[in-house]
Amino acid sequence: MARLSRGSTTVEGAGRDLLRGTLESMILKVVADAPDHGYGIGRKLEQVLGPGAMVEDGSLYPALYRLERRQLLQASWGRSDANRRARFYTLTPQGRRALARRTRQWTSFAEAVTRLLAGVSK
Amino acid sequence: MRRRPDRPTDRDRRQDVRDELAFNADRRALAGRPADAPASLEQDLVQLAAQRDRAAWCRALVAESWHDLRDAVRRLGRAPTFTTGVIGIVALGLGASSAVLRVANDAFLRPLPFTETDRIVRVQEYSRASDGAMRWVDGSGASLEALQGSGAFVAAAALNPLFTAIVGRDAPERISVGAMTAGWWTVLGVRPAVGRLFTPAEQAAGDGAGVMLISDRLWRSRFGGRADTIGTTLTVDGLARSVVGVMPPGYRFPYDEDAWWPTRVNHDQRGFFLAARLADGITVARANDVLDALGPALLRTYPILRGNLPRARLFRDALIGDDGRVVVMIAWAVVLLLLIVATNVAMLFLTRLVSHEREMAVRAALGCGRARQVRHLVLEAWLVFGAGGLVGLALSALAASALVALVPHVLVEETAMASVPADGRVLGLVAALVVICGLLVGLLVAWRAPRIDLTEALRATARTGGPAAGRRLLGGLVLVELALAAVLLSAAATVTGGLRQLETRDVGFPTADLLTWHLELGAPRFQSAAAHLALVDRIESRIARLAGPTGVGMSTVNPLCCGDWGSRVAVDGEPVTTFTANVVNWRLVTPGFFRALGVPLLAGRPFDAHDTPTSEPVAIVDARFARRYWPGSPAAALGKRIKRGSTDAPYPWMRIVGVAGTVEDAGDYTETWYVPYLQEPAASSSDDLHIWFRSADVAVASAAVRAAMRDIDPTLPVIDLRTMEDAKQTALAQRRQANGVALAFGAAGLVLALYGVYALVAFVVARERRDLAVRLALGATGAAVVRQVIGRLVRLGVTGVTIGAILARLVEPLVVRALGARPVAFWLPAACVSVLLLLALVAAAWIPARRVLTVDPVRALADS
């Protein structure tokens, strides 16, 4: 079970970058479905990742800020369901393009790995 | 209009981060999830947020600048006449500037043919004239010894510049040679491209070693660049010399040499080019302190110094000090022209701004901030200056080659300058000018912008004129422009006046059919007085056959162009007043000189064959000299005694036997005295011999001269065979070029100033249509209205031109000195220039002002 965390001990070396990039892609996807605040995004990610998965605030929020800096996300203060003041993240046009690109890259990568593994197992 | 967001502060960001994390913590608590954020998260997020804001701000700035730029291009594009006019003005100004910068760059900034230019110095000897000015003469062997013994230099060496001939199958070829002492190559740190330098043994043997280095140019022209040239023998200066090396391409330092050979010098010889390399840790100033401290001892030890002391200067300083004045002068002209250009552009921008008051007011009302408006103006100014600069650079490529001809000949030789490529430095300077001028114009115009009264401009659509402050500024710019144009034109008039004076003056004898050439007698076989006299005798008898009844004359100096000897003269019974007062041109002439040139003798007799070393020493003075000491009739000078140097100098007294008509000598001094070539022992110390005779058919006579000279001495090249008229014109060629440039600058200044005036009047007339129409309707005549418009400008013009004339008067002595000219009349040409400027001003104002006459009062009033 992957544990997405900053300074995680379960993921090493290059894999960490891969997972960090993956976290960003997943955030973009979640926000693309519906704008949400940080807490909501974290919970949705955990749902997608399955039971036992944990998305730590220590990696989620920096990722959100970095995406915002790169103009892939835009943040603004709004009202939550409980009518509380919360910072909502929405996808920018650039973010939409980046998500499409990352999806293509991930898909072709995954297919290649799948093909490779299938070949090896034969 | 897009606006850049305000930059959030650090406190705003921290508050936002806290709020966001607090919301997260509350939700977690509600859901019963433990908080898992590390303690440092808040700080990390604040940092990330700061990065985010910085990036956003930069992006906004870039986007806004890009937007502004496109906006500026669009606005300029909407006014094509304005834009083309301004770009044309700028191209003219920057084109002229960059052309001059290229030449100046080449003359002063081009690398010398050696490295470490801050360690290698040129040493010359100086004395101070009574007016405090330093006078420089080339170094002596004594100075060389002083340098070598001073401890301030690692090495010092002398180069003896010679002109000599290569003798082969063809006619003797004249070349420039440097004979240098040991250490020359150590000083410069230069090595041959092919072959080797001289060995210590060869250097010690001096001229007798029979070896030489040659230039790349001679190697290619004479040897076709063949590799087996090393070891080849060539007869130069009467001696067979073996080529040991070829210097790198372009190296012909210092006097455009084609060959170099070793020599040795004694402390009592002079006329050397001295170079030295500073010792480690010694500056030029320190080295000169050392030399100054040695001064008294040097003067005691070496009488040849004659009161002069050696002084070191970096090469570049030595060059600019002597010959760079013309280029410096042109650089000043460029600055003036650029000021006119900037004034003009500023004026055009202002008029445009005033006529766009409404647009500006609307923009301001829509929230276009003041800073933004200033940026717009500066951007527009940069755009037109940038475009003008590019066009100007293209123009300057054409002009620069013409300008090279202006650079003093000595400088061309010393830097081996032949062409002027534009290099990075010139481009950089032009770019800097673009930035500075654009900024100045933009800021000047923006400074005016706040005086636009917003409500007034919005309400009064067609109120008369611009606000008074704006009108005053425009008037001030016209004033500045006219003053600057007057300075440029007056300077041009000074240059032209000087040239006219030189072209039309009577040099003191007819020049058209007077044939001349000269010989250089530097070869060892001419070192004795007897050899000199024998040669003079042979030439006289042989050339006399070609010459008509006026015969042949010879001298050490060609008074119109070449060579310059001066000496102090002491007059018997007259106290010596100042150090320089008695220095006059000193000419050694043969008995036939006065008759051959046609210089009249106003009193007494010419020299004759009886004036020999054993007879009484005699002299002839010119009329100016005679008038100064013996006013009244020229005959009053006859029988008086004069001598070289001071009254106590070890030279004999000479009796004045004749007074000659004044010759306008190109030498440094205004008076001249003559002594007999056949009598004066100093004659044989001059390597130059100039010869003259008159001939009706110059072409035939020239061929005959060459044939005769081959008979007399086939190894002596005949140099500069031509008429004296040609010599006079050649000597003026550089002045003509200088004149051309001065006139071009003057004309450019005039055109620009007039254009500015024209544009301004056209603008004012357009603005004041309604006002004028009212007055026309009330019964004023059109002519009266036009007179009033022009009268206002003429008042401005008179002030501007007067200021200009006063400035020009201050500048004039500098122009005269830069050109080495004699003073010319100033006020008459300046008055002509002023009147010309004012007439042109009226004409430039009249053309647009005339439109007033066609104003239909009813229409104009209805329009408003």
pLDDT at residue B769, as a whole number? 66
Is the model's pLDDT at B104 over the cut of 70?
no
Interface test with A, best of B15, B19, B20 (most A CBs within 10 A): B20
Is the model's pLDDT at B354 over the cut of 90?
no
**Contact between B35 and A87 using a beta-carbon 8 Å cutoff:** no
A8 within a domain of the structure (yes/no): no
- How many structural domains is chain A composed of? 1
Strand order in the sheet with A85-91: A36-37, A85-91, A73-79
**Does A92 or A14 have the greater pLDDT score?**
A92
pLDDT at residue B496, as a whole number? 79
Is the model's pLDDT at B312 over the cut of 60?
yes
A115 within a domain of the structure (yes/no): yes
pLDDT at residue B448, as a whole number? 66
* Among B27-31, B103-107, B201-205, B550-554, the least confident range: B103-107
pLDDT at residue B647, as a whole number? 73
Is the model's pLDDT at B324 over the cut of 50?
yes
pLDDT at residue B463, as a whole number? 43
In 3-state terms chain A splits into helix, strand, coil percentages (rounded to 5) of 60, 15, 25
Q: Quick one: tokens of A118?
A: 């299938």
**Contact between A84 and B26 using a beta-carbon 8 Å cutoff:** yes
pLDDT at residue B134, as a whole number? 65
Q: Are B212 and B261 in contact (CB under 8 A)?
A: yes
Tokens 């280029």 map to which residue?
Answer: B327
Q: Are B247 and B277 in contact (CB under 8 A)?
A: no
* Contact map slice: A 41-100 vs B, CB within 8 A: 54, 56-58, 61-62, 65-66, 68-69, 71, 80, 84-87
Alpha-helix residue ranges (DSSP H) falling in B306-369: 315-323, 325-355, 357-365
pLDDT at residue B350, as a whole number? 77
Chain B: residue whose CA lies nearest to A85? B23
Beta-carbon neighbour count of residue B8 at 10 Å? 16
pLDDT at residue B739, as a whole number? 72
Report the amino acid identity of residue B347.
Answer: M
Q: Quick one: tokens of B148?
A: 């070598």
* Chain A residues in contact with B28 (beta carbon < 8 A): 39
Task: Grade residue B578 by pLDDT with cuts at 50, 70 and 90.
Answer: very low
- Report how far residue B90's alpha carbon sits from residue B342's, in angstroms, rounded to the nearest whole number: 8
Of B20, B26, B52, the CB nearest to A38: B20
State the pairing for strand pair B654-660/B566-571. Answer: unpaired
Task: Grade residue B818 by pLDDT with cuts at 50, 70 and 90.
Answer: low
pLDDT at residue B417, as a whole number? 42
Q: Any idea what the CATH number is for the domain that residue A65 is in?
A: 1.10.10.10
Task: Write out B275-305 in H/E/C secondary structure.
Answer: EEEECCCCCHHHHHHHHHHHHHHHHHHCHHH
> What's chain B's length in residues?
864
- Report how far residue B738's alpha carbon sits from residue B406's, in angstroms, rounded to the nearest whole number: 6
Stretch B40-58: mean pLDDT, rounded? 91
pLDDT at residue B48, as a whole number? 93
- Report how far residue B489's alpha carbon sits from residue B826's, in angstroms, rounded to the nearest whole number: 12
Is the model's pLDDT at A69 over the cut of 70?
yes
Q: DSSP code of A55?
A: B
Q: Which of B661, B862, B843 is nearest to B761 (CA)?
A: B843
Distances (CA, A) of B364 to A55, B1, B433, B450: 51, 11, 31, 10
Bridge partners of residue A90, in order along the sequence: A74
* Among A39-43, B114-118, B531-535, B635-639, the least confident range: B114-118
pLDDT at residue B454, as a whole number? 42
For chain B, the average pLDDT equals 79
* Chain B residues in contact with A66 (beta carbon < 8 A): 48
**Does B198 or B256 have the greater pLDDT score?**
B198
Is the model's pLDDT at B167 over the cut of 90?
no
Distances (CA, A) of B429 to A93, B101, B362: 45, 8, 39
* Contact map slice: B 30-69 vs A, CB within 8 A: 35-38, 41, 44-45, 48-49, 51-52, 55-56, 59
* Chain B residues in contact with A69 (beta carbon < 8 A): 48, 51-52, 55
- Ramachandran class of B585: left when φ > 0, alpha when ψ lies in -120 to 50, beta otherwise: beta
Is the model's pLDDT at B627 over the cut of 60?
yes
Is the model's pLDDT at B763 over the cut of 90?
no
State if pTM tops 0.90: no
Is the model's pLDDT at B90 over the cut of 90?
no
CA distance B357 to chain A (A): 40
A2 within a domain of the structure (yes/no): no
Where does residue B78 rank: exposed (0-12), middle (13-18), buried (19+ CB within 10 A)?
Answer: exposed
Bridge partners of residue B589, in order along the sequence: B555, B676
pLDDT at residue B416, as a whole number? 43
- Report how far residue B826's alpha carbon sits from residue B842's, in angstroms, rounded to the nearest whole number: 24
Is the model's pLDDT at B462 over the cut of 60?
no
pLDDT at residue B579, as a whole number? 41
Residue-wise pLDDT for B463-514, tens only, equals 444 455 556 777 787 888 888 888 888 888 877 777 777 777 778 888 888 9
pLDDT above 70 as % of chain B: 80
Q: Chain A contact for B12, CB < 8 A?
A: no
CA distance B52 to chain A (A): 4
Q: Chain A contact for B472, CB < 8 A?
A: no
Most distant CA pair in chain A: distance in Å? Answer: 57
CA distance B367 to chain A (A): 25
| Degrees to nearest 5, angle at CA B305 with B302 and B307 | 110
Is the model's pLDDT at B117 over the cut of 90?
no
A70 within a domain of the structure (yes/no): yes
Cα end-to-end span (Å), chain B: 30
Q: Domains of chain B: which residue ranges? A: 10-65, 120-323, 325-504+737-863, 524-714
pLDDT at residue B158, as a whole number? 93
Is the model's pLDDT at A48 over the cut of 70?
yes
Task: Grade residue B411 by pLDDT with cuts at 50, 70 and 90.
Answer: very low
pLDDT at residue B849, as a whole number? 75
Task: Grade residue B322 by pLDDT with cuts at 50, 70 and 90.
Answer: very low
- Report how far residue B696's alpha carbon sits from residue A55's, in angstroms, rounded to the nearest whole number: 112
CA distance B31 to chain A (A): 11
**Contact between A61 and B41 using a beta-carbon 8 Å cutoff:** yes
Beta-carbon neighbour count of residue B225 at 10 Å? 12
- Report how far residue B298's alpha carbon sits from residue B415's, in angstroms, rounded to the nearest whole number: 32
Q: Which of B531, B570, B557, B754 is nearest to B649 (CA)?
A: B570
Question: A28 lies in which domain range?
Answer: 15-121
**Does B107 or B65 have the greater pLDDT score?**
B65
Most confident of A10-14, B628-632, B673-677: B673-677
Chain A: residue whose CA lies nearest to B27? A39
Is the model's pLDDT at A83 over the cut of 70?
yes
Stretch B17-36: mean pLDDT, rounded? 88
Report the amino acid identity of residue B274.
Answer: L
Beta-carbon neighbour count of residue B614 at 10 Å? 7
**Contact between B20 and A86 using a beta-carbon 8 Å cutoff:** yes
Residue-wise pLDDT for B822-864, tens only, equals 666 778 888 888 888 888 888 877 877 777 666 666 666 665 5
Task: State the ipTM, two decimals.
Answer: 0.83
- Report how far residue B516's alpha carbon sits from residue B727's, in angstroms, rounded to the nearest whole number: 9
pLDDT at residue B69, as a whole number? 87
pLDDT at residue A72, as a whole number? 93
Q: Are A85 and B23 in contact (CB under 8 A)?
A: yes
**Contact between A86 and B23 using a beta-carbon 8 Å cutoff:** yes
Is the model's pLDDT at A93 over the cut of 90?
yes
Task: Grade residue A11 by pLDDT with cuts at 50, 70 and 90.
Answer: very low
Q: Are B651 and B641 in contact (CB under 8 A)?
A: no
pLDDT above 90 as % of chain B: 16
Please give the backbone phi and psi of residue B832, each rounded to the nearest 5 degrees, phi first. -60, -45
**Contact between B37 and A39 using a beta-carbon 8 Å cutoff:** no
Q: Are B546 and B708 in contact (CB under 8 A)?
A: yes
Beta-carbon neighbour count of residue B96 at 10 Å? 25
pLDDT at residue B157, as a whole number? 94
pLDDT at residue B822, as a whole number? 61
Is the model's pLDDT at B449 over the cut of 90?
no
